[in-house]
Structure 1
């Protein structure tokens, strides 16, 4: 048994059984560890025959993975969404991908939509520092989609683990940044395929989604990206926020809400000392940050 698969759930009663059934059908031995984020919908009743870490409050996906990491004693640790159902050879394909690439710290899965189209084979960096899904199976990836990934456990610990305070979104891309700054590669595993019911727990497009998405992108850049990039993106976000009330009309989307954007800026500023401390803990030269940015930022889909 080389891998522990960590499944974080919150109110997952409607879909976690499919996830666990798919894990039991894997062709590689593994340990399943479910993190229950204080579910109140009866999810706990479905988890009686697996190892469960029950949290007293909802710490989000990032917090759940971070809480589980000290309990992982295997060579590899997988992160898996509770609304994902991997194919039987998924874990074997991921383990092989890391065995074939000793320089790689993580192997990213192919996530498929219910319609069978590719949702993600990993993550790319946009020109403004967003993490965006790669949906071409032949393309290299900057990072991994945290919905289904396998990582080397000790390497993950060595670079600082998981950013628990992100709650959810961008914990995967921020972790990928730190892995690359530490000199590790991240590889796609085209044969590791997972059916993903995207957004079953969190609703893309909601106010909470945009709050976490916008806040965590800025925090990630402050922690990991070249200083000029991080400060430019923070200033750009603030400038757009200030100018929005002057526009005669604006898109009817949560991320154009001035109130939401001010909340994001406030949360980023409150977390600024912690982010700068995290940046100092990442032992990387200015040249390394710039080299990663030049290589990966602005990737085309």
Structure 2
């Protein structure tokens, strides 16, 4: 009798017809049984027909509008019934032993709730071998494997479904970016570990689905970093980083020779601040819930990981 799959691999797509087939083909070639659930963010480029025709016959959850990566993952979590939930970008192609390697790693680490893969770019270089926490609270990809990581890269990771539910699931309001770092924070606060698995490799067509470096990227990135800190970090750290962001925004018009990057544009930063202020009541409510679920203090997690 064939055992039930332990993992549901969730692939979020939006207008992914140009690269989604390669991802599904790679999943079909996995040497470990699994379920595949594709969440289609209301694509209008023929993605629905592609999914219906693919020989692997993945389960499909088609959303009525684009909820972003975070919103789609949150919608998928409500349908996952397996012990593990894998997160996989639609522009990623995992090696045939990718899932088996991740499952075996979590089976060997009962105190870990997440395992992060090694994402390689087309030229063979490493995009991410896990996520570190910088001294100012950014979640930054590690370009080389490390024995310990703070968090996982949401582009290719495996999580225990039970702990993910227990810590509050996935922050759907983030839309895109930092949903993985925020989730890692909450898992850490609840006493869980995150393990790096550099032998679980994925080829990633970075930027096929989104545009890193675009104004939208920087808006979501800056906003969600602040939301993550306000939800999860020690209060003094979160307020200091928010004040620093606001102060730099205020002096930007007076600063000569400022960088040309979108995250240094006055209008974009003002919009980020407005969105953070508007979301503050819900953020503080979430912070209280996270506190009730926590086994460790925010300060202890920050001291252990920030800047290391």
TM-score category by the smaller chain?
Answer: over 0.9
Residues 1:65 and 2:45 are matched in the alignment: no
1:211-254 CA-to-partner distances (Å, cap 9, x unmatched) read 00000000000000000000000000000000000012211111
Secondary structure, in 3 states, of the residue corresponding to 1:243?
helix
TM-score by length of structure 1 reads 0.98
Find out whether 1:275 has 2:279 as its counterpart.
no
1:165 to 158, 161, 173: 173
User: 2:39 matched to which residue of 1?
Assistant: 35
- Corresponding residue of 1:182: 190
Output the CA distance in 2 between the equivalents of 1:294 and 1:287: 12
Shift of 1:117: 0.9
For the aligned residues, what is the CA RMSD? 1.1
Question: Any conservation in 1 of the 2:190–2:296 contact (CA below 8 Å)?
Answer: no
**Is contact 2:11–2:39 with CA below 8 Å preserved after alignment?**
yes
Q: Give ranges in structure 2 of 5+ residues lacking alignment.
A: none
1:210 maps to which residue? Answer: 218
Contact 1:106–1:150 (Cα < 8 Å) also in 2: yes
Supply the distance in 2 between the matched residues of 1:43 and 1:137 (Cα, whole angstroms). 35
Give the Cα separation in 2 of the matches to 1:34 and 1:156.
19
Task: Report what 2:241 is aligned to.
Answer: 233
Match of 2:13 among 5, 9, 13: 9
Q: Does structure 1 residue 297 correspond to structure 2 residue 301?
A: no
Q: Scaled by the length of structure 2, what TM-score is found?
A: 0.95
User: Which 4+ runs in 1 deviate beyond 4 A?
Assistant: 284-287
Q: Which residue of 2 aligns with 1:25?
A: 29
- Give the whole-Å Cα distance in 1 for the aligned partners of 2:167 and 2:69: 19
Where do residues 213-224 of structure 1 align in structure 2 (5 Å cutoff)? 213-224=221-232
Q: 1:102 to 1:287 in 2, by over 3 A?
A: closer
Q: State how far apart, in whole Å, the 1-side matches of 2:63 and 2:275 are.
A: 24
The count of aligned residue pairs is: 299
User: What does 1:245-256 correspond to in 2, within 5 Å?
Assistant: 245-256=253-264
Residue in 2 that maps onto 1:78: 86
The yes-or-no answer on 1:146 pairing with 2:154 is yes
3-state SS in 2 of match to 1:201: coil
String of CA shifts for 1:137-176, please: whole Å, max 9, x gaps.
1341000000000000011011100000000000000000
Q: Any conservation in 1 of the 2:122–2:204 contact (CA below 8 Å)?
A: yes
2:104 and 2:183 mapped to 1: Cα distance? 21
1:287 is displaced (CA, Å) by 6.6
Structure 1 segments unaligned to the other structure (5+ residues): none
- Distance across 2 between alignment mates of 1:139 and 1:130: 20
Contact in 2 for aligned 1:90/1:192 (Cα 8 Å):
yes
